[in-house]
Amino acid sequence: MEDARASQFATEHDRWECEVVHPLLSRTPERQASFETPSGIPIERVHGPRPGDYARDLGFPGAAPFTRGVQPTMYRGRFWTMRQYAGFGSAAETNARFRFLLDQGQTGLSVAFDLPTQIGLDPDSPEALGEIGKVGVSIASLADMEELLAGLPLDRVTTSMTINSTAIVLLALYVVVARKNGVSTDKIGGTVQNDILKEYIARGTYIFPPAPSMRLAGDVMEWCARQAPRWNPISVSGYHIREAGSTAVQEVAFTLGNGLAYVEELTRRGIPVETFAPRISFFFNAHSDLFEEVAKYRAARRLWARLLTERFGTRDPRALALRFHAQTAGSTLTAQQADVNVVRTTIEALAAVMGGCQSLHTNGMDEALGLPTEQSARLALRTQQVIAHESGVANTADPLGGSYYVEYLTDEIESRARTLIEEVDRIGGPVAAIERGYQAARIHASAYEHEQRVNRGERVVVGVNSFVDEDASSPEILRVQEEIGRRQIERVIRVRRERDAARARRALDRLTGAARGSENLVDPVIEAVDAYATIGEIRASLETVFGQHHARGGL
């Protein structure tokens, strides 16, 4: 039936072009000679039915290949989790922001960490100077984590932690605080990002070389599979790849390729795919081209299900279902006319919802200028609430499914992403490609091409290269107080002075010894943080065994 409709459409389309379109174009040309998505996918004047197998390629929500969503009823049953990313300054300040967001109706927590925490530096490290608490909360020891989570219902709220190189440390801190508050490990719910491969590709906050870093990521995944069944031990992240300048196709390809590498790491340890794959989550960007973004999410779900079946033989629906968190694109926010960012964020959030996200963060309108103020954070959350309760898009699963245009884009993104994954495979897989700088080079080329198009005026950015308003006022900016750094330095020095130093030393020595062997390192790290060893001391203990990574090129 579909093939017959496609054939009929092709015939009628040709007649329409000749009899209607061409005479019109001779008098009124189109805005440009050709149209394409930001990924370079050609856009036809009108799209129609294409040959294909509906049951195979689309199916139904909650059933493989999950093109139309991972739950049968999607948002008719429960809305996505509204998980606003927050963190700045001290643990006490961030705890207050969490309480504010929960009071405003937020349904999950998401923690942003400062750069020293992300790369395992204590606040009194000379390299941490000027960065303490600036882009996230400063966490150096168990004392900070206890303050960060004070009074929060850890048995009821799920917490996402955006942390990678030091993911094993932050997970251990969370586990210890939960236990001290009477919440057993099997009851905690949340996510630790733990995606080290994308750090080498797009972001740069790595510490150790790829091989030991993969060991640490695998240790977290293995430990959670056995000890923390409600915890997602990895969130394979395309968000940062896209923020670095990739296309939607590259975002899907490099993210799923990294995901396959993590699956291979766990299967090498003898853990069945069906045991851990249901807890693998993904993190995608919600960018500005609405239809390409919706198609991107649909294509990613379908391709992931197919790749897991093809490469690992699993047909377990729980393992095949790609669940993802989305965040609106920080790279699309402009410092000029910052209030216009509310419109950008709304479009991007709408794409994430119509694409079937499981949780969502909407950026504040002022984030091109600094961390969001309370007012900006409230408006960002209200954007999600309006979409959920007033727009009607949540009342049916896959609301754009069946659109000829969206189905065309879904097919194209899946096909092009698969081709790119196979290119990486021919190099030797994601780790080998990282060592050659392959992914970073492809992303840099795409970023450069985008900037050139903006500079030439071929891609309009309202308020930047078009519709400029030199008199537009800037919003109030949240500024982190400079004394935060001094207080955090004093705090970590006090922790070292007041703890049982011998106990901390024994725990750190045990960690170093375990790193020299093949033992899973999560329990030794838990022992170390429980003894109030600092994040910098834990990094140093591992560094004596693993060394540091120094990029040959790119990041």
Task: Say whether both 412 and 532 belong to one domain.
Answer: no
Mean pLDDT along residues 352-381: 93
**pLDDT given at position 303:** 99
Same domain, yes or no, for 379 and 519?
Answer: no
446 and 513, same domain (yes or no): no
So what's the pLDDT on residue 87? 72
At 310-361, the pLDDT tens digits run: 999 999 999 999 999 999 999 999 999 999 999 999 999 999 999 999 999 9
Q: What does the pLDDT read at residue 146?
A: 97
Please tell me the distance from the alpha carbon of residue 479 to that of residue 157, in angstroms, as a whole number.
28
Beta strands in 334-433 (DSSP E): 359-361
pLDDT tens-digit series, residues 141-186:
999 999 999 999 999 889 999 999 999 999 999 999 999 999 999 9
The pLDDT tens digits of the residues spanning 441-481 come to: 999 999 999 999 999 999 999 999 999 998 777 777 766 66
* Mean pLDDT along residues 499-509: 98
Closest CA relative to residue 437, chosen from 322, 552, 329, 544: 552
pLDDT tens sequence across 67-103: 999 999 999 999 999 987 777 778 898 899 888 888 8
Verify that 198 and 132 share a domain, yes or no: yes
Question: Do 518 and 443 share a structural domain?
Answer: no
Helix (H) or strand (E) holding 76: none
If asked whether residues 403 and 537 sit together in one domain, one would say no
State residue 4's pLDDT score: 83
Residue 552: its pLDDT value, please? 65
Taking residues 493-512, what's their average pLDDT? Answer: 98
- Strands, DSSP E only, in 297-381? 323-328, 359-361
> Are 256 and 328 found together in one domain?
yes
The burial of 69, by beta-carbon neighbours within 10 Å (0-12 exposed, 13-18 middle, 19 or more buried), is given as buried
pLDDT for position 554: 46
Q: Which residue has the tokens 């790829």?
A: 210
Confidence of residue 12 (pLDDT cuts 50, 70, 90): very high
- Do 450 and 500 share a domain, yes or no? no
Residue 1's pLDDT is: 52
State the pLDDT at residue 319: 97
- Predicted pLDDT of residue 550: 84
Whether 410 and 532 share a structural domain? no
How many domains does the chain contain in total?
Answer: 2
User: Residue 532 sits in which domain range?
Assistant: 495-543
Residues whose CB is less than 8 angstroms from the CB of residue 287 and which lie 6 or more positions away in sequence, other chains included: 38, 242, 248, 293, 329, 332, 348, 351
Peptide bond into 233 cis (omega under 30): no
In this model, does residue 289 exceed pLDDT 60?
Answer: yes
Write down the pLDDT at residue 105: 84
CA distance 293 to 360: 14
Which pLDDT band holds residue 106 (cuts at 50, 70, 90)? confident
